[in-house]
Amino acid sequence: MSRAVELALRGRDRTAPNPCVGAVMVLDGHIVAEGYHRYCGGLHAERECIADARSKGVNMTECTMFVTLEPCNHYGKTPPCTEGILEAGIKHIVVGTRDPNPKAAGGLEYLQSKGVKVESGVLEEQCRDLISDFLCWQFSERPYSILKLACTIDGRIAGATGEQEAVSCPESFADVQHLRSIAGAVIVGGNTLREDNPSLTCRLDPLPEGYVQPKAVVVTNSLPEEPDGFTLTSARAAETIFWTNETEAATKTASELKNRGIEIVPLPEGEKGLILEPGFTMLRKKHGVLRTLCEGGGRLALSLIEQGLVDEFVMYQAPRILGNVLGRPNFAGSDRKLIRDATEMRISRVQQSGRDLKIVFKPEGQ
């Protein structure tokens, strides 16, 4: 099942709005065939795995199939995977997690009714994490929200001056480009705009065929009065959106930015600043954005956490120690004083990224 999870992640780039799924065929304790859902509309993982087994002459009647998600039992863009499993003569299925989509669920019961031995709940948390974006799309109106931060061992995303410097290694930088490639919008705070002048584009080389660069979203209570000085408000004006308060959205500066083709979205305010969920909902409903990637800074990152708008937190921890309390922290702005009041996260995945450590967190309870 662990190998099936690895395979599923390979398809994450292109499966939306479908879940990413992996499958392997096992015979006498050895993996003899593999498959994963490669893109929306393509063969599902089970059928990819069955095709791989057929191409290798594997006798599937003697095999066990491990699949991260319950096989579908309905006709969509492809036929039901349950029928493919029965046609292949597979007699034993091990599933990571049940399908939360009522339309596609029921595959295990159907297979059992046909005499197939079924087991479920193997590496269930890992397998459920694979479909956390799918669950967000099914049960909410907003995009799946990924927060990315690169920090030192002591949790600093920049030095005391705020100067733009690389914290993580080149391998982590390249990995972030893959995150940008699956995001329909990249979000930053106003300080990041003013200090870093980012372009927020995906810089994979080559870019995927037909790729469209993500929208650029800036969250700020102070709109830029000299837009020619920023890449987003000059070269990327048509792809740039500002989330700001209602007063700032009614200013002359806002009108001038709109005249450039920039979208200004007024958001309501709460005690701790802008209420961000309406902005996320707008991105999905108006622009069809399924995933967002927030790249900081620390105050925006904390706002997203506190407003329950982080579905996945990807942290690249560089093996460096700044040791200066004036360095920019990865989260900032909380008035909490005790550790017992801290926001709880859980670790979903950990892996090496060049010389860095890549840790993927999920909200506790998700």
Q: Give the three-state DSSP class for 65.
A: strand
Copy the structure tokens of residue 317.
């921890």
The residues pairing with 274 across neighbouring beta strands, listed in sequence order, are 269
Contact yes or no for 64/33 (Cβ under 8 A)? no
Q: What angle do CA 323, 324, 328 make, to 5 degrees?
A: 110
Q: Residue 339 carries which DSSP code?
A: G
Residue 46 falls in the annotated catalytic set: yes
Phi-psi domain of 324 (left: phi exceeds 0; alpha: psi -120 through 50; beta: other) = beta
**Residue in the structure block whose two tokens are 């209570």:** 221
Q: What angle do CA 60, 64, 65 make, to 5 degrees?
A: 90
* Pairing status of strand 30-36 against strand 273-274: unpaired
Peptide bond before 206: cis, by omega within 30 degrees of 0?
yes
- From 6, 34, 46, 225, the catalytic residue: 46
Peptide bond before 297: cis, by omega within 30 degrees of 0?
yes
Contact yes or no for 52/84 (Cβ under 8 A)? no
Q: What angle do CA 136, 138, 144 make, to 5 degrees?
A: 25
User: Which residues form the catalytic set?
Assistant: 46
